[in-house]
């Protein structure tokens, strides 16, 4: 007999998380518990307003699937029973966790993964100070959240503060096409290793019309394998997040197909607890960049993983 329970949780952040779309002070997640045969698997998702999701809408989607799950809906069947998104992610990961516990599977292959540390939008001076703190803790890759303002000034300030760190930039769709090729050249000249989602997903065709002096990564433009044909020629890398793919099942398939088509991979997450990072872990060894620092922003965490020296450790 299968039982499924879901509930929301809110996790306060240590400090405000500021990106081009605004600021957040807490992480709102939805948890799914999938129980059968005395074993309970747990999954977590982060509803994201950018994709039309809220805690209430995700809870409603999950409730609608409970009867089918209790009647034996499988992970394979779930892929067509629900669209890609946060609700399917929480269920798929709970079922994957249940399968792992039932089979007595050990931890993922790698007991630790490197992870970037995010620097949220601030003045050039504030971002430089944050960079100094991060590298002082052993972080080697810094991810700069940027909007359209003071782009080069912020990059130069962080570069001066952390000359040995690898820098990647996430614009979260905030930039526009005018001047983008020249800006990409300037970023490459300053040693930026990768640029993530500079243009809105619906306006990214321009990316196919100029040579990329640094890799450009699709985030909001890439959800599932269905997106891959459109992304070819526009992007060089894919940011895979379980909340976009609708769970680990599609994420693994997307990673395999994306690599076959020549894309490099980035593994990302939303603001989340360590539960969500554990669920994404199997993809870590495939990724050129791993961005799993979501739990480091929480004032407290559930069953926390250990983040130390620019790595996250399986515990």
pLDDT computed for residue 203 by the predictor: 97
pLDDT computed for residue 108 by the predictor: 72
Share of the chain above pLDDT 70, in %: 100
Residues 97 and 146 in one domain: no
Say which CATH number the domain at 76 has: 3.30.390.10
Position 173 pLDDT exceeds 90: yes
Position 233 pLDDT exceeds 90: yes
pLDDT computed for residue 239 by the predictor: 98
Q: pTM surpassing 0.75? A: yes
Residue 95 CA to residue 98 CA, distance in Å, equals 5
Contacts of 22 (CB under 8 A, 6+ apart): none
CA angle 239, 166, 179 (to 5 degrees): 70
Residues 300 and 163 in one domain: yes
pLDDT range class, residue 106, cuts 50, 70, 90 = confident
Residues 33 and 166 in one domain: no
Residues 259 and 282 in one domain: yes
Position 242 pLDDT exceeds 90: yes
Residues 176 and 215 in one domain: yes
pLDDT range class, residue 109, cuts 50, 70, 90 = confident
Catalytic residue of the set 101, 143, 145, 244: 145
- Total count of domains within the chain: 2
Tell me which residue range forms the domain holding 96: 3-103
Catalytic residue of the set 14, 101, 143, 241: 241
For the segment 105-130, the average pLDDT, to the nearest whole number, is 93
Residue 203 gets the label, from left (phi > 0), alpha (psi -120 to 50) or beta, of alpha
- The mean pLDDT of the chain is 97
pLDDT computed for residue 253 by the predictor: 98
32-89 pLDDT tens trace: 999 999 999 999 999 999 999 999 999 999 999 999 999 999 999 999 999 999 999 9
Looking at 18-32, 67-81, 100-114, which range is the least confident one?
100-114
pLDDT computed for residue 104 by the predictor: 87
Domain boundary among 55, 72, 103: 103
Rounding to the nearest 10 degrees, give the CA dihedral for residues 235, 48, 291, 234: 0
14 carries an active-site annotation: no
Residues 283 and 172 in one domain: yes
């Amino acid at each position: 007999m299968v039982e499924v329970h879901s509930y929301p949780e809110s996790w306060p952040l240590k400090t405000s998380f500021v990106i081009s779309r605004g600021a957040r002070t807490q992480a709102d997640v939805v948890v799914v518990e999938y129980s059968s045969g005395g074993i309970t698997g747990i999954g977590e998702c982060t509803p994201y307003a950018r994709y039309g999701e809220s805690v209430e809408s995700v809870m409603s989607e999950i409730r609608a699937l409970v009867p089918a799950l209790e009647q034996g809906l499988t992970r394979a069947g779930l892929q067509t029973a629900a669209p890609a998104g946060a609700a399917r992610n929480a269920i798929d990961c709970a079922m994957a966790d249940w399968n792992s516990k039932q089979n007595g599977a050990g931890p993922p292959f790698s007991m630790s993964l490197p992870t970037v540390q995010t620097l949220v939008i601030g003045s050039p001076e504030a971002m430089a100070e944050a960079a100094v703190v991060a590298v002082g803790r052993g972080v080697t890759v810094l991810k700069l959240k940027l909007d359209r303002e003071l782009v080069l000034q912020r990059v130069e300030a962080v570069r001066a503060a952390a000359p040995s760190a690898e820098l990647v930039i996430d614009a979260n769709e905030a930039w526009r096409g005018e001047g983008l090729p020249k800006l990409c050249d300037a970023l490459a000249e300053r040693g930026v290793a990768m640029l993530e989602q500079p243009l809105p997903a619906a306006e990214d065709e321009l990316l196919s019309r100029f040579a990329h002096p640094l890799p450009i990564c699709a985030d909001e433009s890439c959800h599932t394998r269905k997106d891959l044909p459109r992304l070819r020629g526009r992007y060089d890398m894919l940011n895979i997040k379980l909340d976009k793919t609708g769970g680990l099942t599609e994420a693994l398939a997307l990673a395999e197909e994306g690599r076959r088509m020549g894309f490099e991979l980035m593994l990302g997450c939303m603001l989340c607890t360590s539960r969500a990072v554990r669920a994404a872990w199997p993809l870590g060894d495939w990724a050129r960049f791993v961005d799993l620092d979501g739990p480091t922003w929480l004032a407290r965490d559930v069953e926390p993983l250990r983040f130390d020296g620019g790595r996250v450790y399986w515990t």
